[in-house]
């Protein structure tokens, strides 16, 4: 592969540079693969994107080197920030006042995931500091994968909504704790006050950026129509600026975007119409994010011990999420069966997890490296398998039609579903 690239680089001198051409072709292939997977299997397009990224990564594609940095890292941060901003906007805080059990479900599943993964990895001989870091990463479910699955299978309903909200909240905890923990890695072990302070710093700085973002957008929405394309562009541009600034100040870009979405929903309870306007631009950004994640994650070294650790982590994480959601299910407004499917729908792990691992690697190459050895294969596995599990969960919950039936031409007699 590298030889071919070298010959190619000699042969052509594209105006925007060879990486641009490579990435453009890779994205074109991913778009086609996503479409074909959806067209002929009925499964979500994200599986096609990830498959292309995985093949490229395994074939030694050089467009995204691990650890991520520069433009690649920024694009990943931006993609995650856009998804999390929108996901944050789906969380009205008043809901927790009317239904505090949702918060209980969220805290229970995240806490159980943390302790479950930490316990298992410790049992399997992983050093405590690595196990702890991986346990924090494992808390984050992927609202990005889940929302793409919901869009592709046209799923809607209480399980879809609840799983999206709980995934977003778990991401919020993981972003806060991991960002703080990564900041502490170079200093080694720390006491309680040393642990709390970085959490507050990350959270505080992210809240400041989030508040500025939300206030500017609120002001813009006073004079601009939420259905205008320009409003969508303004929004994307501001999130990009926020993402670049938040990291610079010591906060977390995705966390700032997530909190910005939540704050804007509080300040401006009017319906969110701009996601429809963001359309293709937003879709391309998220597709790029999925491809990037799988290209990078596929570069991990697989071995038998790593495989058993990854499988153990994935299984315990899933059990913990289902158990946590079920633990807080009583009085939460969903049935036990729905609680089970919510837990299953939270299995994807993707871009946010990769970002968190990047933070660890940036903070300490030795510990970060050990975290990445286990985390990258787990992320790759759960980007694809997680998407399939989430699809099955939403189907079994009765919130989408049979997703693995290929799209057929002509009259359909199957169930009809809502967007």
Residues at the interface with another protein (CB under 8 A): 89-90, 92, 94-95, 98-99, 154, 156-158, 161, 165, 222, 225-227, 268-273, 275, 333-335, 398-399, 415-419
- Closest contact distance (angstroms) between CB of 218 and another protein is 8
Tokens of 311: 């499988």
Q: How far is CA 35 from CA 32, 43, 47, 48, 299, in A?
A: 5, 10, 10, 7, 25
Tokens of 365: 């190459």
Comparing CB distances to another protein, the nearer of 10 and 418 is 418
Comparing CB distances to another protein, the nearer of 171 and 358 is 171
Q: Which of 201, 179, 172 is nearest to 263 (CA)?
A: 172
Comparing CB distances to another protein, the nearer of 155 and 389 is 155
Comparing CB distances to another protein, the nearer of 85 and 114 is 85
Comparing CB distances to another protein, the nearer of 88 and 242 is 88
Comparing CB distances to another protein, the nearer of 248 and 412 is 412
- Stated length of the chain: 419
- Closest contact distance (angstroms) between CB of 275 and another protein is 8
- Closest contact distance (angstroms) between CB of 158 and another protein is 5
136: Cα separation from own chain's centroid: 14
- Closest contact distance (angstroms) between CB of 74 and another protein is 28
Burial of 23-42, coded b for 16+ CB within 10 Å and e otherwise, reads: beebbebbbebbeebbeeeb
For residue 16, the tally of other CB atoms under 10 A from its CB is 9
Answer whether 292's CB lies under 8 Å from 144's CB: no
Which residues are CB-contacts of 308 (< 8 A; sequence separation ≥ 6)?
Answer: 124
- Closest contact distance (angstroms) between CB of 323 and another protein is 22
For residue 73, the tally of other CB atoms under 10 A from its CB is 19
The torsion defined by the Cα of 3, 69, 48 and 315, in degrees rounded to 10, comes to: 120
- Closest contact distance (angstroms) between CB of 416 and another protein is 5
Instruction: Name the percent of the chain in helix, strand, coil, to the closest 5.
Output: 75, 0, 25
Tokens of 296: 């990078």
- Closest contact distance (angstroms) between CB of 408 and another protein is 16
Comparing CB distances to another protein, the nearer of 283 and 401 is 401
């Amino acid at each position: 592969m590298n030889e071919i690239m070298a010959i190619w680089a000699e042969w052509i001198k594209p105006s925007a540079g060879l990486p641009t051409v490579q990435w453009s072709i890779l994205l074109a292939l991913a778009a086609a693969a996503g479409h074909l997977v959806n067209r002929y299997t009925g499964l979500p397009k994200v599986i096609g994107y990830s498959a292309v990224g995985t093949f490229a990564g395994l074939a030694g594609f050089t467009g995204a080197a691990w650890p991520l940095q520069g433009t690649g890292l920024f694009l990943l941060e931006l993609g995650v920030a856009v998804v999390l901003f929108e996901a944050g906007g789906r969380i009205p805080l008043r809901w927790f006042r009317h239904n505090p059990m949702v918060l209980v479900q969220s805290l229970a599943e995240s806490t159980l995931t943390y302790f479950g993964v930490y316990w298992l990895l410790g049992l399997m001989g992983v050093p405590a500091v690595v196990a702890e870091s991986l346990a924090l990463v494992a808390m984050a479910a992927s609202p990005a994968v889940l929302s793409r699955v919901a869009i592709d299978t046209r799923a809607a309903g209480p399980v879809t909504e609840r799983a999206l909200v709980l995934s977003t909240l778990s991401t919020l905890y993981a972003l806060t704790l991991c960002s703080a923990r990564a900041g502490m890695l170079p200093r080694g072990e720390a006491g309680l006050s040393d642990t709390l302070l970085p959490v507050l710093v990350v959270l505080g700085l992210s809240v400041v950026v989030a508040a500025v973002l939300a206030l500017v957008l609120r002001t813009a929405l006073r004079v601009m129509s939420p259905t205008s394309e320009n409003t969508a562009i303004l929004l994307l541009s501001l999130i990009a600026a926020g993402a670049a600034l938040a990291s610079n100040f010591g906060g977390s870009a995705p966390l700032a975007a997530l909190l910005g979405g939540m704050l804007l929903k509080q300040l401006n309870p009017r319906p969110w119409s701009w996601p429809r306007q963001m359309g293709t631009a937003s879709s391309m950004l998220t597709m790029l994010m999925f491809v990037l994640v799988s290209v990078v994650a596929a570069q991990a070294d697989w071995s038998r011990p790593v495989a058993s650790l990854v499988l153990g982590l994935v299984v315990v994480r899933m059990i913990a999420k289902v158990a946590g959601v079920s633990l807080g299910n009583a009085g939460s407004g969903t049935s036990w069966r729905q609680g089970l499917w919510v837990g299953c729908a939270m299995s994807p792990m993707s871009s946010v997890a990769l970002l968190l691992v990047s933070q660890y690697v940036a903070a300490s190459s030795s510990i970060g490296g050990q975290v990445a050895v286990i985390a990258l294969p787990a992320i790759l596995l759960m980007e694809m398998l997680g998407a399939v599990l989430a699809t099955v969960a939403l189907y079994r919950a009765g919130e989408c039609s049979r997703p693995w039936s290929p799209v057929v031409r002509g009259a359909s007699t199957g169930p009809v579903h809502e967007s």
